[in-house]
Amino acid sequence: MNLDELRLIHPELALLALVAVPIGLLYLATFVARRRALARFAGRGARLSSVSGARQGVRAVLVILAVATLAFAAAGPFVDLREVQVRWHGVDLVVALDVSQSMAVKDVQPDRLHAARDAIRSLVQAVPGTRVALVLFGANGILRYPPTTDPAVITDALDSPGRTFRPTNGSSLRAAIDAAVDAFATDSVLPKAVLVVSDGEDLTTDRPDLVRYRAKNIRLFGLTVGTAAGGQVPTYDTQGRDLGPLVDAKGQPIVSHMQESLLRDYATATGGTEWHYDGTAASLQEPAAALLAMGSGDLTGSTQRRPDDQYQLIAFVAFVALVLEWIVSQRRRMPWPTRARVGVTRRRPLPGPALLLLALLLAGCADAAATNETANGQFASGDFEGALTRYRGILRDRPDLAEVSINAGNALYRLGQFDRALSNYEAAMSSPDRRVRAVALYDRGNALFRLGRNDEARAAYVEVLKIDPNDRDAKFNIEVIDRIRAGQQQQPQPNASGTPPSNPQQSPATGSGQPSGSGAPSSPGPQQQSGGGSPSGQNAPGDQQSLSDALQAFRQDLTPEEALRLLDALERQQQGIITFIEGSSRRQGAGQDPQY
């Protein structure tokens, strides 16, 4: 591949490579901003950052390279032309361009020949699908380029007659018309037309034989350039230098005039017409419309030389750059140990027994979790006996599950067996989890309060505060017990956590709840979630007084019996006392406890 001959099919798309410039500036600005932020945050420790500046630079260069190469691939680079099979719909058009000496007259800018070349370029582009051949003529006609459907090829052929081209003496329209009819492909089935582009001067007396045109159904069109006033004919040497005007035998300058009548007569005889080109696009609209009105034919099986686009290799380079940018990490490579580790070689355990043991363990945990969820559902539906049976079954297999022990104690609490619930709460108090111990202590205080053992209940709440000093429910319960013991006339009003819970979802942080994830029901006791979570609808035995009556009684004189009655009344309400006193929840924000 000769890079000197490299050309682009769509050179305007190569400008997309400029997008790489702002992308590179954006990478640079981001890199500088991050470095400054890291220096402000870490100070001298910024040099210990795990992000490598060199790797970031490599990634940025790869992205910029990918953008630039993709833009170059889109422009369609090629060096050679290749033969391809073509199929198109259009007409066969032979353009006969007058290159005689009179076409150098400058009565139009820059001269007649250049104006004619511009007209041919615009007309070919206005009739897409047309197969065009180019004939040059003066005193004689010659086929400059055979039929092609590529307008770029015709454009290149038109550029050949430049200032160094020496026009032939004389101009013969017959030479143009005869050479054009022989330029058509012999196997062509397309509609045929000949367009003669000339100043119309014909210095010969020979007239063309138009019978061949009518026999082959070829239509002749004319396009004249120049002005009727005309101008002097310039002459040039072989180097393109101006030698002055062309003169006759008497030494007088020869003036060439544009003539339309003769070419119009020839065109009309074949069913065509003649137009004058004045240098504007509007003057080419009628010729283009006439060519399109001829209809079109279907031509297949022919070949055409087209650019051999070599975008594949360049696009592959862009793809590789993007893949490398994705692979290269911006993290520094971690250092490897400089010395080999010294130790006793151990035999690896057999993977089979280990996997079997793990499978059995997971199966056991899954069965326990499923049974615990079933027990929770029974507790929520009010089947406390059934829930207790399942909890005890789990504890037989896994007595170390402190959460399930609390759940079993809750079921006994709901059945009114407070003394038996104490043993389950005490078993859970040995858990290494501080959160679970706090729940067990709190629920134990609730059961002791129900049994009338207020001093022991108060001690349990104090232990809760030692684990979680922010537990407001435990603080409130201690204050209630102190007021009962002191026998004061005016008692502090209990908040929403002063009722024994019937809902198995209470706050674990302040007691009567469970650690999340086990799905167990909540603990009952003299504290309920202060967020006002409603009881599950189970009515405890006792008085059916309303919450407003209980609050009024609480303000007057609170005895142990009245405190128990108040707790039973609050258990049947949908809101806790804290809703009336403080107006918002206090336990766990939403008033709902995660289940064990």
Cβ atoms of 459 and 481 within 8 Å: the answer is: no
pLDDT tens-digit series, residues 517-563: 333 344 444 433 333 333 333 333 444 344 455 555 555 555 666 66
Ramachandran quadrant class, 233 (left: phi over 0; alpha: psi -120 to 50; beta: rest): beta
378: closest CA among 388, 370, 369, 368?
Answer: 388
pLDDT lower than 50: segments of the chain: 162-165, 340-350, 354, 488-547, 572-596
Q: Exposed/middle/buried for 365, CB within 10 Å: 0-12, 13-18, 19+?
A: exposed
Where are the chain's structural domains? 3-79+321-327, 81-307, 379-581
459: closest CA among 472, 437, 471, 477?
Answer: 477
CATH number of this structure's domain 379-581, picked from the four choices 1.25.40.10, 1.10.3720.10, 3.40.50.10170, 3.30.70.1450: 1.25.40.10
Distance CA 69, CA 103 (A): 46
Distance CA 133, CA 191 (A): 14
Listed as own residue / partner, the contacts of 104-108 with beta carbons closer than 8 Å and 24 or more positions apart are 104/167, 104/233, 104/234, 104/236, 105/199, 105/226, 105/230, 105/231, 105/232, 105/233, 105/234, 105/256, 106/231, 106/234, 107/226, 107/227, 107/229, 107/230, 107/231, 107/258, 108/225, 108/226, 108/227, 108/279
Q: What is the pLDDT of residue 507?
A: 31
Structure-token pair, residue 389:
């049976």
260: closest CA among 196, 181, 194, 191?
Answer: 196
What CATH number does the domain located at 81-307 have?
3.40.50.410
Q: What is the pLDDT of residue 342?
A: 45
Q: What is the pLDDT of residue 367?
A: 56
Distance CA 196, CA 274 (A): 9
Distance CA 590, CA 378 (A): 24
Token pair 């051999």 is found at 308
Cβ atoms of 565 and 543 within 8 Å: the answer is: yes
Per DSSP, 349 falls in state P
- 81-307 and 379-581 in the same fold: no
Distance CA 534, CA 380 (A): 13
136 forms bridges with which residues in the sheet? 97, 142
Q: What is the pLDDT of residue 533?
A: 33
Query: Cα torsion for 546, 549, 554, 559, to the nearest 10°?
Result: -80
For the chain, first and last CA: distance in Å?
A: 75
From start to end of 150-259, where are the E strands?
192-198, 218-224, 231-232, 234-236, 242-245, 255-256
Residues 6+ apart with CB under 8 A from 420: 412
Distance CA 466, CA 510 (A): 12
Q: What is the pLDDT of residue 76?
A: 84
* Identity of the residue numbered 43: G
Total residues found in the chain within this entry: 596
Is residue 331 helix, strand or coil?
strand
Distance CA 513, CA 521 (A): 8
